[in-house]
Structure 1
Amino acid sequence: MSHTVLERFPAGGPWGSWPAEDFARARRDEGTDAEVVMDLESDAFLVVVTRQTPEPAH
């Protein structure tokens, strides 16, 4: 499995504002399985989707 970042949002948004969650919800409403994760190194919220990678043939 791998993750694709759809969008980044700074962690220091205004109190009560959840732009990453709002963006992810809009993507889910469109049928994309998006979720929000925290990137501690960049202090940002990432909206990501998980991609299934095919298993190599043996």
Structure 2
Amino acid sequence: MNKVLYESLMLKQIDLMKHKMIKLAKSTSINSPETLKCSQELDTLLNLHMKHFPNNNKLNNVS
């Protein structure tokens, strides 16, 4: 898999996880175990992105 495609897929996963976390926070509360678990998963994805693409600012464009 080329690097551009890999980053695109990773950014899509980050975006999906962010929306999932927002939805969970609205339905279960920001401190619920489900929301916190989702937040940790999002952190993991963000850390992976920063590790593999340290010089890219594309995360600023994720909605």
Larger radius of gyration: 1
**Structure (1/2) with the larger helix percentage:** 2
TM-score (norm 1): 0.33
**TM-score, with length taken from structure 2:** 0.31
Greater relative contact order (Cα < 8 A, sep 6+): 1
